[in-house]
Amino acid sequence: MSQVILDNYNQAVANKLIQASDKKTLSHAYLFEAIQHDQALATALFLGAYMFCETTQKPCQECSQCQRVLTHNHPDVFVIQNDKQTIGVDEVRELKSELSKTPIEGKQRLFIIDRAQKLTQPAENALLNILEDPASDVVMIMIAPNRKQLLPTILSRLQIVEFDQQLAQSNWADRLSLVQASDKALLLDLQNAGIEFNQLEEFNQLESFFHEVKQLLQQIILKDQAAYIHFQTVIKPMITTPSMQEVFFKSLMILATQQLEQQQEVRALSLISALIEVSHRRQFNVNFDSLVDYLFIQTIFAPYQGRA
């Protein structure tokens, strides 16, 4: 049997949403700005269970209505959730098709977009059309670690709930207390870039990873062909999931930008340009090895055109 367990902070958020539900003042669309996405998703499902629970002690989390919500099997609850690098326009079109239907078992429907930061720009544009003409019987919840990862036009149509910031900041503070001073700025920049705390937890030796990426950056700037071997033999074995791949590319981008801004290292420009293109290609689910090969071809093996 599936059940949702919320900590005290997130339970308080859920209670406010439940009160709004009772007063029939729920917004038609929310952004749960949550660095730790699991509790945000759990709270969205908790609200859904409350909306459809068939007992007096809502949400009981035991009746058939609650169980179907919590296991993503309720006909009036639609969840966009995948393990791909992006959420594409086809998935938003499927959501739009669902929106055209009337509630089957209740008076409302609940739509959840998990990890909304993965929406491609075409998908966001398609979603904007939905938000501009909201259905009266629908509540939509989007979950993302940072509101800046969504288009301003999308944000203007969402009620933002700063979800688990106290807990998240505590976890980041704990991590900051354990790293070298030189890595603190990088950690904070990764947080600002939308990296979630649990993505960093996937690295057993985060500080060692940072050290190796910094060394790789210097090798790339110097056009040292040993950089490719260094990546394949040392760094790549540390990267085993798509979320860790994202941390790798964003760490390299942050460090390259710092080189350009602080040391005026113009040779970092080719790396930044290549990383921008890598980010674009990741939206189309290009595999990691191909992205890395492109990065090295553009930076190490391409003729250098600038001035040292």
The domain segmentation of the chain, as residue ranges, is: 8-167, 178-299
Place 172 in a pLDDT band, splitting at 50, 70 and 90.
low
Q: How confident is the model at residue 306 (pLDDT cuts 50, 70, 90)?
A: very low
Q: Which fold has domain 8-167?
A: Rossmann fold (3.40.50)
pLDDT at 197 over 80: no
Lowest-pLDDT choice from 48-52, 122-126, 195-199, 290-294: 195-199
Nearest to 271 by CA among 248, 308, 297, 235: 297
pTM over 0.75: no
- Residue 173: what pLDDT? 57
Helix (H, G, I), strand (E, B) or coil at 31: strand
d(C-alpha 8, C-alpha 12), whole Å: 6
Does 145 sit behind a cis peptide bond, omega within 30 degrees of 0 on the bond before it? Answer: no
Please tell me which residue, 258 or 192, carries the higher pLDDT value.
Answer: 258
Distance CA 57, CA 173 (A): 38
Cβ atoms of residues 247 and 195 within 8 Å = yes
Average pLDDT, the chain: 85
Query: Coil, helix or strand for 2?
Result: coil
What pLDDT is stored for residue 62 in this prediction?
A: 92
Question: What pLDDT score does 174 carry?
Answer: 59
**Per-residue confidence (pLDDT) for residue 308, from 0 to 100:** 37
Tens of pLDDT, residues 240-268: 888 889 999 999 999 999 888 877 677 78
The most confident of the ranges 24-38, 56-70, 265-279, 291-305 is 56-70
Question: Which comes out higher in pLDDT, residue 137 or 180?
Answer: 137
pLDDT 10s digits, 62-119 = 999 999 999 999 999 999 987 777 888 999 988 888 888 888 887 889 999 998 988 9
304 token code pair: 């250098």
User: Residue 208 pLDDT > 70, yes or no?
Assistant: yes
- Helices in the chain by DSSP H: which ranges? 8-22, 37-52, 64-70, 89-99, 121-132, 152-155, 165-176, 181-192, 197-201, 206-221, 226-230, 242-262, 268-282, 288-299
Residues in CB range of 85: below 8 A, 6 or more apart: 118, 242, 246, 282, 283, 285
Q: Using CA atoms of 12, 14, 20, 25 in order, give the dihedral in degrees to the nearest 10.
A: 130
Residue 307 has pLDDT above 50, yes or no: no
pLDDT for residue 123 is more than 70: yes
